[in-house]
Structure 1
Amino acid sequence: MSIPFPFADRLKMPLIVAPMFLVSNPKMAVAACRAGVIGSYPAHSTRTKEVYEEWLYESEEALAVSENNGEKPAPLAVNLVVHSSNARMEGDLEITIRHKVPIVLTSKGAPEEVFKEIHNYGGVTMHDVASARHAEKAVAAGADALIAVAGGAGGHCGTINPFALVNEIRQVTDKPIILAGGMSSGQDVLAAEAMGASMVYMGTRFIATEESLAPSDYRDSLIEGKATDIFLSAALDGAPANWYAPSLVKAGIDLEELAMTKPGAIVTSSGQSKQRYKAIWSAGHGIGATKSVQKTADLCEQLILEYEQARTQFVGSIA
């Protein structure tokens, strides 16, 4: 495990529990941090910037208790949408800076001034990219690391095979790469390292955890899910995203019609369509590894064990 950041000694494996809209929360993030992996949540999962700050206070207090008890938790990360279209960007960024959040996961745009403000207090910036062109822009703006969102990631995703994406990004920069898309086991994390990634983003496995904000029927449904249940479409909000097909069908959406619908058509149409959209769930290609609803800490422990065993077996096989 080779992670070029000062928090590397706090990690038991090179993993970030991905920030999932309306799923991730302080309890999940703190449980992950205490288990030795980076926990996170999106600032925009909260109704207001004031609630976002309450989440940060809750997280900080819980992690301080962990430290006082002699534990060495991994750092917290938050996701900020840094595109100018985000009306909350300025307020959320101000709060993030005030709390000196250790790791900031940025998406949708790569403004240089945002990275500078985070660097001023010593924060680390990791930016979402889905192509080598995106990576070049993020590096030029000052991102410390790149989150390579490949095809297979849950929710908004890239469309490029992870092998090809890592290879093309590596051709334009030597910045650390965090690979996202379809990984669901400790073995997968080790494989990503072998490909050239420094860390891995994993989200879908953590939807079905006790701390998750996902409705119980969402969590339970994923246990029966397979990669073939994932449906890629940009029709719902204009950006490519992987959706859980059974939830689309349950919402009354015809998959054949959806496949032919132009990007963004559903969200930009009637209010009824927008309401229906809220009942649609996302998931990634790694869904098939979800076999039960677990505590976040237990899932992290399982992944760490898988990672360590895979590393030992791999080293033994090439000795």
Structure 2
Amino acid sequence: MVIVGAGAIGLLIGSLLSEQKHEITYITRTTEQADNLRHNGITLVQANGEKVHSRVEAFVDYGQAPTNALWIIAVKYHHLQDIEEKLHALPLSAPLLFIQNGIAHLQWINQLQQEQIYIATIEHGAFKENATTIIHKGIGLTKVAPYKMTTNTPLDMTILQSPKFQIEFVEDAYAIVLRKAILNACINPITTILFIENGKLISNKHAFQLMHSLFLELQTAFPEISSMLTFEHVKALCEKTSPNKSSMLQDRLNNRQTEIEPIVGALLKLATTRDKELPLLQTLYQLVLAIDEKGEPHE
């Protein structure tokens, strides 16, 4: 298997799949990280403190990765355009599995011609400590759905399944992506603005009320989520990942561009097409954009 992107989620997936004896090859943005991964492998620090080491291959050059393998695309949305040409150059028979936050990437993927394209959403908690070390903060469910299929021989995704990497196979890619986007929209902007861990959204009564009001507002624009996502699910995710810093907050801490556009911006645009206004979400969106423009981590 080939994993494009060695951030928190990319490293986590590679480690968990390596434990299942899958051969993993990474495509990284820097030669330094590729060299570190080849020489040192991945170290996964589990919730109990136990460390698991996995050997992997890693390159910057796409030409050194096998094309007769599943390609897992685990880069952030705003990096997809950087790898567009490389994905177009892959054989049409190479299956692709995309893992991005938000919903903006669905439209971007439509340009690709591969015969099998899948979408996944991941609810694991993970923190990248350094180029080769990932801290696994909580096991969550991974949902996988076909997005584009022009072949009669789909990939057997059950080969990815394990007790640590539990997968639910569903048919509606849009539904699982919308569900994850709304979960992220309820949690990430607030934690980023208030500079708090996920669990504080439950224990801080004002943050809790803000999150609840935001969920109710989103529900008015996207009533179809009622059958697959309730506020209890949002609370449960906050509790399960209580000590975690959201990915958006981690971006702020590391002075990186946040994913406010593909997560929140895309939801706001979609709501506009339905003649729905989301004033609370719009306010949070502008606040995070202001943080991005300021370009400095919290002191």
TM-score tier by shorter-chain length is: 0.3 to 0.5
Task: Tell me the TM-score normalized by structure 1.
Answer: 0.34
TM-score under structure 2 normalisation?
Answer: 0.36
